[in-house]
Structure 1
Amino acid sequence: MYLNCHTYYSLRYGTFSEVALLELARENEVARLALTDINNTSACLNFVRRAADFGIQPILGIDFRNGVDSCFVGIAKNNEGYRELNDFLSHHLHREKKIPSKAPVFQHAFVIYPFEKVLLNDQYHFSDHEYIGISVADLRRLPFSRLIEYKDKLVVLQPVTFRNKRDFNAHRLLRAIDNNVLLSKLPQEEQASPEEKMFPVRNLAEVFSEHSFILKNTEKLMQACSIHFDFSPERESQNLRTYLGSREEDEALLEELCQKGLPYRYPEVDDRIRNRLAKELELIRDKGFVSYFLINWDIVSEARKRGFYYVGRGSGANSIVAYLLRITDVDPIELDLYFERFINLYRTNPPDFDIDFSWKDREEITQYIFDRFPHVALLGTYVTFKSRGVIRELGKVFGLPKAEIDFLCEGHYNPSELDGVSLLVLKYGNLIKDMPNYLSIHAGGILISEKPLHAFSATHLPPKGFPTTQFDMVIAEDVGLYKFDILGQRGLAKIKETIEILALNRPEEYASVDIHDIKAFKQDPKVNSMIRSAQCMGCFYVESPAMRMLLRKLEVDTYLGLVAASSIIRPGVAQSGMMREYIMRHRNPGRAEEKGHPVMLDIMPETYGVMVYQEDVIKVAHYFAGLTLGEADVLRRGMSGKYRSREEFQKIKDKFVENCRRKGYEDSLIDEVWHQVASFAGYAFAKGHSASYAVESYQSLFLRTYYPLEYLVAVLNNGGGFYRPEFYVHEARMLGAVIHAPCINRSIAVNCIYGKEIYLGFAYLKELEARVMDRILKERKARGLFLSLEDFLDRVMISIEQVSILIRIDAFRFTGINKHELLWEAHLFLNKGNAIDHPKLFPPVHQDFSIPHLHSTELETAFTQWELLGFCLCSPFRLLKEPPKNDHGSKDLPRYEGRYIDIYGYLVTVKNTKTHTGKRMNFATLVDQQGEVFDTVLFPPVAAKYRFRGRGIYRFYGKVVSEFGFLSIEVMKMQKEDYIQDPRYAEMKTATQSRLLNDRREEVIDKGEEQEER
């Protein structure tokens, strides 16, 4: 009897989930139920999936509204009707069109107009599929309305939005948030009626008993509705099922492509390769994944045609078929990649292919996919209300001052000391937390479907401009839609741009660089030496302090070592304590036999019996615990959080323990192994995935080794990396570059390099307008270099504020004139706030001005650079108020090992973390006075006493310690050093004081003269 039910996917309106709605319906003995969220279908698939668990027949529809103004409710008779509704809604969402008051003629859907809307409309003609909805509240007026005559068109339309008063209060708060108003100012018309509740069916029937025809009409309408989606494990994939049009053609093409790829990948083909290929092809055919591989092949083939760099990773990188199709560059034979992680007989979903493109190329390849295939959409996701965010929103709604909101967000309060309003903020914050706030886009998921995606949900059109589903990846997989991951990253752009810079800066060497010659890179002693010494600043995935520390501890100098390190660094391995154990076994091979279980060593000899890769979960579950490969894959998916049925996962866990006991393992061993599995399975990489990352790391390391300055310029031009831009500039200087501030005649928008001279780009000047930058570059290209400031002002339309920025950063230093004099000159040429806004017909006649001789200091320049660029180009140690008491640096750590050292460092980065007991501690990386990097650790007692207070120079006193050969400082004392006062403001202050003193003297003299006159 309920044809208008809302969940919290009626965004910032509804108050509970689709599962809670089903629970509510069961409590009220409802047998049939229509889900009709407001302009949204996010909950529909899961509503249908779960309805059977509650013994309820699901019906799907949409409550079409403009804001909160209800137009009509659409109810799908069947799947075709659901698609019609989605087509209609999507059309209006994409074009941001208002919903019309009159519904179109749906072929497979009913339309129900609210009683109130029909009363306001003079038209009383209704088609066969159209009805008038009567709520409990409407019944009072129905007998006095002409609509009582339309007995065959009246149905029950009792909205369901709340379960109780608390839900209604939460609804009002959500509406206030949505309208950005105080709760006390929320208009009545922006709220739902508190009567929008569900009643037991018998009560509802009793209320409508005097109008039994309404109940009969409603029952008839609901009986005419049926919706079905297959969620069974045996369901057929909903992805595009064929690439060429038939399975036979697809299978023939896949076989042909693999055979063509063999000579390229394997000059010598042996039985191991042939057998692996035959086994994979057979399984791919049996599981129906042929089109999935061909679509990925199509995408990467197009990328190569367009000259795009890409990296194929994910569990699909364990596949020789993917290697032969050039979807990945990881050789599964060389790495002995575990076939069953990629695919097995029990697997229902295709293997993961994450294809990374340059952030500059990703949108273009996405557009190609939308143009190439018939039914495509981006995968949606939900941005939910988070703890602090919802406290801030509710604080504003309740009218709390910002200071009180900040206090609540910090969480350091005693609830007994809070006032009533603050307690309400916290109470309803907990209720609203984790509700969906708005729809967004999955990081990289694209759906390519056999049938139109509106068969599954409506789509909206985010700023990216591509249709996006209103459901997420979990429910997509439930219904048989498996995403293609097309991701963007900056590492590939850095590699590509380095090659482009080389072509300009070192053309004689550019021709000899083959960035795809990975085999040569893996064997290059210089590259491997860089890895071993952890000189990886700017390099993909290996530049962070944690990775640098791990590489040093493991003494990594091989590709396989880097593959392992890429997965060991992931949170799970570290949290389980197995990172340390792996390092100890790596450095002392005898320890593996001493500490490792024979079965574990036999399963994972390459990693000393330690679980490092995601497929190790499958191996341990299969070989150690005796689970089937299918059960092992359920375990892996359950660990990663992608598996829906927690009940089924628990059964697998119980069987894991039971099988281990049957094998005679001690409970302590079982607990230890399970702890390892549980702690890291959701975070670890598949080995092929790690190997793909390592390939890109080797490419960037090769460029960093042989063309470091060009590579660092490319790093800076693509947004940097783990560190702030100033540290890549610093690294370039340490490697021999001469760094120049932006220059009118040498710089471009981004950074550029001439030989070993790097000119910072205009883009670093955050206050410089893009249009001004564009004018400068176009004028310089068209008519040559600027000869003077006057020449520049004659040729470029610019305001005094904008030219002042360029002068202050010393962009006219080629003139040899002090920038203070240039500022005077610019002010005399341009009226404040006015720009030259038209071309000159005749050469300008300049008047000679007499400008006083002015000068600037290096310190003034440094502070100006800090203000305009975000960092200075000199050593920050030169700006200290008091010079350092010593010159200790990274070079001194070996001789101080085991002893205490007093050292100064400029802060690079801080990692705040917590111990297993929840106490705060810090790891910090700094640059010493010689420009070298060193690391510190502040354990909880010290971290509680001393805090890092932003960027700057710190003085440390601590003990130099060594762990597996990696030196760091355990800090005992710390203080932040003061910089000198900014000389620009010091001079201004002095000038102001002098002026005030002179004014005071003149005032005294004037008064004295007045007294004499009297």
Structure 2
Amino acid sequence: MYLNCHSYYSLRFGTFSEVELLQLAQQNHVTQLVLTDINNTSACLNFVRKAPEFGVRPILGIDFRNGVNPCFIGIAQNNEGYLELNNFLSHHLHHQLKIPQQAPSFKNALVIYPFEQVLLHDLDDFSEHEFVGISIKDLRRLPFSRLVNLKHKLVVQQPVTFRNKQDFNAHRLLRAIDNNVLLSMLSKEEEANEDEKMYPIQNLAAAFSEVSFILENTEKILSSCSIHFDFSKGRKPQNLKTFLGSVEEDEQLLENLCAEGLPYRYENVDDSIKTRLEKELQLIKKMGFVSYFLINWDIVSEARRRGFYYVGRGSGANSIVAYLLHITDVDPMELDLYFERFINLYRANPPDFDIDFSWKDRPAMTEYIFGRFKHVALLGTYVTFKERGVIRELGKVFGLPPHEIDFLSEGRYNYDELDSISKLVLKYGLLLKGKPNYLSIHAGGILISEKPLHWFSATHLPPKGFPTTQYDMVIAEDVGLYKFDILGQRGLGKIKEALEIIAYNQPEKHQEIDIHDIKGFKADATINNLIKTAQCMGCFYVESPAMRMLLKKLEVDNYLGLVAASSIIRPGVAKSGMMREYILRHRNKGRAEEKAHPVMLNIMPDTYGVMVYQEDVIKVAHHFADLDLGEADVLRRGMSGKFRSREEFQKVKDKFISNCRKKGYSDIIIFEVWNQVASFAGYAFAKGHSASYAVESYQSLFLRAYYPLEYSVAVLNNGGGFYRPEFYIHDARMMGATIHPPCVNNSVAVNRIYGSHIYLGMMYLRDLENRVMERIIKERYKNGGFASLEDFLDRVFISMEQLAILIRIDAFRFTEINKHELLWKAHLMLSKNDRLEHPKLFPPRHQGFQIPKLHTTSLEAAFDQLELLGFCLCSPFDLLAEPPKNTNGQKDLHRYLNKHIDIYGYLVTVKNTSTHNGKRMHFATLVDQHGEVFDTLLFPPVAAKYFFRGKGIYRFYGKVVEEFGFPSIEVIKMQKESYIPDPRYADMKTSKKLFSPNK
């Protein structure tokens, strides 16, 4: 009887989930109902999936509205009707059109016009599929309206939006957030009616007892509606079924492509390779995944045709078929990659292929996919209300001042000391936390479907301009839609651009480079030494302080070691305590036999009996706990957060423990292994995934080893990486580069290298407008370099404010005129207002000015750079008010081992973390006076006493300790050092005289 039910996917309107709606129906003995979220179908698939568990027959519809103003409700009579409704909604969402007051002529969908809307818009002529909805509150007015005679058109339309008063209050807060107004200023028109509740079915029937024909009409239309989606374990994939048009043609193409790939990938095709290939092909065909592989092959083939770099990774990297099709560059035979992690008979879903493109190339590849295939959409995701965010939103709604909102969001309050408004903010913050706030886009998921994607949901059109589903990855997999991950990353952009830079900076060397010679890179002693000494700044996945520390502790000097390190660094291994144990066993080979359980060591001999890769979870579950491969995969997916059946997961966990007890393992061993699995599995990489990462790491390490300056420029031009730009610039200087500030004759928007001279890009000038930058570069390319300031002003339209930025950063230093004198000249030549842009018919005549002799100090230049670039190009130690009291640096740490040291450092980065009991501590990386990096550690007592207060130089006193050959300083005390006062403002009177435009 309920034709108009809302979940919290009626965004910033509804208050509870689709599952809670089903629970509510069960409590009120409602056996069929229609889910009709407002302009949204996010909950529909899961509603249908879960409904049988609550004894409810699900029906789907959409509440079409403009804002909160109702237009009509569409109810699907079948799946084709649901498709019609989704097509209609999607069209209006994509084109930002208002919903019309009158519905189109749906063929397989019913339309319900709310009673108020019919009266308001004088709707009289109703088609066979159109009805008028009457709520309980409408019953009082019905006898006095012209609609009372339309008996066969009247149906029950009692909206369901709330369960109780708390839901209604939460709804009002959501409406205030959506309208960005104080709660007290929220218009009643923006709220739903408080009586939009579900009543027991007998109460509803009693309310309509005097107009029982309305109940009969409602029952009749409900019984005409039915919807079905297959959520069974044996469901077939809904992805594009065939690539060429028939299964036979697809299978033949796949076999041909593998045959072509064999001689390219392997010099000697032995029996083990043939056996592995045959095994994979049989299973891929049996599982119906042939088209899935061919679509991925088509995508990477197009990328290669366009000269785009890509990396194929994910569990699919365990596949020899993927390797032969060039989807990945990881040889599963070389790495002994676990076939069952890639695919097994118990998996309904195909393997993951994450294909990374350069962030610059990814949009073109996305566009290609949308043009190449018929039914394509980006995968949606929900952005939920987070704790701090919702406190900020509610603080504004309740009218709290900004400082009180900051105080609450930081969480350092004593609840008992808060006022009533603050307590309300926290109370409703908890209520809204985790609820969907708005729809967004999955990081890289694309769906390519056999059926139109509106068969499953409506789509919206985010700013990227591609249709995007209104459901997420988990729901997509539930219904048999498996995503293709097309991702963008900057590491590939760095590699590609580095090669382009080498081509113009060292053209004679460019022809020698084969960036795909991974076999040669793996054997290169210079590259492996960079890994061993952790000289990896700017290199993909291996540049962070934590990775640098791990590489040194493990003494990694080869590809396989780097593959392991790429997975060991993940949070799960560290959390389980097994990162440390792995290092201990690596450095002391006898420890593995002593500490590891024999079964674990036998399963994972290469990693000393420690789970390092995602497939290790499957191996342990299968061999240690005797779970079959399907159950083992349930375990892996349950822990990864990509799997929703907690009941099934719990059964597998119970069986894991039960089987181990049957095998005679003690509970101590069982739960020790289980805890490792539990803390580890959700964060681990598949080995093939780690191997793919390591391939890209080796490519970037090759460039750093042999073309360090060109690679540094490419890193900077592609957004840097883990660190701020100034540290990549510092790193380039340490490797021999001469760094120049932006120059109007030598710089472009990005950084540019000439020999060993790097000219910073104009993009670093925070307040320089893009259009000014473009004018300068365009004019220079067209008519050559600038000879003087006067020449520049004759050729480039620019305001005084923008010109001052260029002069202050010394972009006219080629004139060899002091920049203070240039500022004088500029003020005399330009008015304070923007010049009018007009064509110059005659060359201008320049007046001669007598400019006093002025000079600039290097300190003034440094402070100008700090202001305009965000960092200075001299050593920051030159800016200290008091020179350092010593010259201690990273090179001295070994002399002070287990002793106390007094040392200065310029802050690079701080990692804030917590101990197991929640106390705060810090790891900080710094650069010493000599440009070398060192690390410090602040344990909770010190972290509670001393704080890092932003960028700058800190003086530390602490004890030098060493773990596995990696030195660091346990800080006892520290202080931030002061810079000298800004010399530009030391004498304001002089400054005013100097810069006065009237002088």
Q: Secondary structure at the match of 2:975?
A: strand
Moved more, 408-417 or 879-888: 408-417
Equivalent position of 2:648 in the other structure: 648
1:78 counterpart letter in structure 2: N
Equivalent position of 1:834 in the other structure: 834
2:69 matches 1:56: no
In structure 2, C-alpha distance between the alignment counterparts of 1:142 and 1:258, rounded to whole Å: 72
2:567 matches 1:567: yes
Contact residue 985 and residue 991 of structure 2 kept, 8 A = no
Contact residue 318 and residue 332 of structure 2 kept, 8 A = yes
1:603-1002 mapped onto 2 (5 Å cutoff): 603-988=603-988
Q: Secondary structure at the match of 1:326?
A: coil
2:248 matches 1:248: yes
Equivalent position of 2:233 in the other structure: 233
In structure 2, C-alpha distance between the alignment counterparts of 1:597 and 1:196, rounded to whole Å: 61
1:167-182 mapped onto 2 (5 Å cutoff): 167-182=167-182
In structure 1, C-alpha distance between the alignment counterparts of 2:123 and 2:166, rounded to whole Å: 39
Equivalent position of 1:998 in the other structure: none
Equivalent position of 1:166 in the other structure: 166
2:334 matches 1:330: no
2:125 counterpart letter in structure 1: H
1:274-293 mapped onto 2 (5 Å cutoff): 274-293=274-293
Equivalent position of 1:502 in the other structure: 502
Contact residue 582 and residue 608 of structure 1 kept, 8 A = yes
Q: Secondary structure at the match of 1:891?
A: helix
* Superposition deviation, residue 123 in structure 1: 3.8
2:18 matches 1:35: no
2:410 matches 1:393: no
Contact residue 801 and residue 833 of structure 1 kept, 8 A = no
2:84 matches 1:80: no
Q: Secondary structure at the match of 2:962?
A: strand
Per-residue CA deviations over 1:432-469 (Å, capped at 9, x if unaligned) read 11110000000000000010000000000000000000
Contact residue 798 and residue 836 of structure 1 kept, 8 A = no
* Superposition deviation, residue 121 in structure 1: 2.5
In structure 1, C-alpha distance between the alignment counterparts of 2:237 and 2:994, rounded to whole Å: 82
Equivalent position of 2:533 in the other structure: 533
In structure 1, C-alpha distance between the alignment counterparts of 2:834 and 2:300, rounded to whole Å: 52
In structure 2, C-alpha distance between the alignment counterparts of 1:776 and 1:961, rounded to whole Å: 53
Equivalent position of 1:999 in the other structure: none
In structure 2, C-alpha distance between the alignment counterparts of 1:92 and 1:905, rounded to whole Å: 58
* Superposition deviation, residue 31 in structure 1: 1.0
1:453-532 mapped onto 2 (5 Å cutoff): 453-532=453-532
Equivalent position of 1:201 in the other structure: 201
RMSD: 1.1
* Superposition deviation, residue 299 in structure 1: 0.2
2:294 matches 1:273: no
1:588 counterpart letter in structure 2: N
Moved more, 842-851 or 499-508: 842-851
In structure 1, C-alpha distance between the alignment counterparts of 2:836 and 2:505, rounded to whole Å: 36
Q: Secondary structure at the match of 1:333?
A: coil
In structure 2, C-alpha distance between the alignment counterparts of 1:991 and 1:496, rounded to whole Å: 47
Contact residue 346 and residue 629 of structure 1 kept, 8 A = yes
2:416 counterpart letter in structure 1: S
Equivalent position of 1:90 in the other structure: 90
In structure 1, C-alpha distance between the alignment counterparts of 2:416 and 2:560, rounded to whole Å: 57
Per-residue CA deviations over 1:4-45 (Å, capped at 9, x if unaligned) read 000110000000000010011111111110000000000000
Moved more, 414-423 or 477-486: 414-423
Per-residue CA deviations over 1:195-227 (Å, capped at 9, x if unaligned) read 111111111111111111100000000000000
Unaligned ranges ≥5, structure 1: 996-1014
2:131 matches 1:131: yes
Equivalent position of 1:1011 in the other structure: none
Contact residue 796 and residue 836 of structure 1 kept, 8 A = no
* Superposition deviation, residue 122 in structure 1: 3.0
Contact residue 984 and residue 991 of structure 2 kept, 8 A = no
In structure 2, C-alpha distance between the alignment counterparts of 1:987 and 1:939, rounded to whole Å: 44
Equivalent position of 1:308 in the other structure: 308
In structure 2, C-alpha distance between the alignment counterparts of 1:316 and 1:349, rounded to whole Å: 12
* Superposition deviation, residue 994 in structure 1: 14
Percent of matched pairs sharing the same residue: 77
Q: Secondary structure at the match of 2:334?
A: helix
Contact residue 779 and residue 796 of structure 2 kept, 8 A = yes
Equivalent position of 1:140 in the other structure: 140
Equivalent position of 1:1012 in the other structure: none
Equivalent position of 1:429 in the other structure: 429
* Superposition deviation, residue 944 in structure 1: 1.0
* Superposition deviation, residue 833 in structure 1: 2.0
Per-residue CA deviations over 1:829-863 (Å, capped at 9, x if unaligned) read 11112224112100111111111111111000000
Equivalent position of 1:1008 in the other structure: none
2:295 matches 1:295: yes
* Superposition deviation, residue 644 in structure 1: 1.5
2:463 counterpart letter in structure 1: P
In structure 1, C-alpha distance between the alignment counterparts of 2:960 and 2:835, rounded to whole Å: 59
* Superposition deviation, residue 412 in structure 1: 1.4
In structure 1, C-alpha distance between the alignment counterparts of 2:376 and 2:20, rounded to whole Å: 32
In structure 1, C-alpha distance between the alignment counterparts of 2:900 and 2:593, rounded to whole Å: 37
2:572 counterpart letter in structure 1: G
Q: Secondary structure at the match of 2:986?
A: helix
In structure 1, C-alpha distance between the alignment counterparts of 2:891 and 2:564, rounded to whole Å: 29
2:495 counterpart letter in structure 1: I
In structure 1, C-alpha distance between the alignment counterparts of 2:993 and 2:769, rounded to whole Å: 35
Q: Secondary structure at the match of 1:334?
A: coil
Equivalent position of 2:70 in the other structure: 70
1:276 counterpart letter in structure 2: R
* Superposition deviation, residue 645 in structure 1: 1.2
In structure 2, C-alpha distance between the alignment counterparts of 1:129 and 1:885, rounded to whole Å: 87
* Superposition deviation, residue 345 in structure 1: 1.2
Per-residue CA deviations over 1:916-938 (Å, capped at 9, x if unaligned) read 11111110000000000001111
1:841 counterpart letter in structure 2: L
In structure 1, C-alpha distance between the alignment counterparts of 2:797 and 2:245, rounded to whole Å: 59
In structure 2, C-alpha distance between the alignment counterparts of 1:427 and 1:940, rounded to whole Å: 31
In structure 2, C-alpha distance between the alignment counterparts of 1:476 and 1:379, rounded to whole Å: 8
In structure 1, C-alpha distance between the alignment counterparts of 2:940 and 2:426, rounded to whole Å: 30
In structure 2, C-alpha distance between the alignment counterparts of 1:457 and 1:15, rounded to whole Å: 21
Q: Secondary structure at the match of 1:844?
A: coil
Contact residue 380 and residue 472 of structure 1 kept, 8 A = yes
Per-residue CA deviations over 1:954-973 (Å, capped at 9, x if unaligned) read 00111111100001111111
* Superposition deviation, residue 641 in structure 1: 1.4
Contact residue 532 and residue 556 of structure 2 kept, 8 A = yes
Equivalent position of 1:582 in the other structure: 582
Q: Secondary structure at the match of 2:113?
A: strand
In structure 2, C-alpha distance between the alignment counterparts of 1:151 and 1:760, rounded to whole Å: 78
Contact residue 936 and residue 970 of structure 1 kept, 8 A = yes
* Superposition deviation, residue 992 in structure 1: 7.5
In structure 2, C-alpha distance between the alignment counterparts of 1:993 and 1:286, rounded to whole Å: 84
Equivalent position of 2:442 in the other structure: 442
In structure 1, C-alpha distance between the alignment counterparts of 2:627 and 2:24, rounded to whole Å: 39
* Alignment TM-score, normalising by the size of structure 1: 0.98
Per-residue CA deviations over 1:868-914 (Å, capped at 9, x if unaligned) read 01100000000000000000001111111111111000000000001
Contact residue 568 and residue 612 of structure 1 kept, 8 A = yes
* Count of residue pairs the alignment pairs up: 995
Equivalent position of 1:544 in the other structure: 544
Per-residue CA deviations over 1:281-328 (Å, capped at 9, x if unaligned) read 000001111000000000000000000000000000000000000000
Equivalent position of 1:1003 in the other structure: none
Q: Secondary structure at the match of 2:363?
A: helix
* Superposition deviation, residue 987 in structure 1: 2.3
* Superposition deviation, residue 674 in structure 1: 0.6
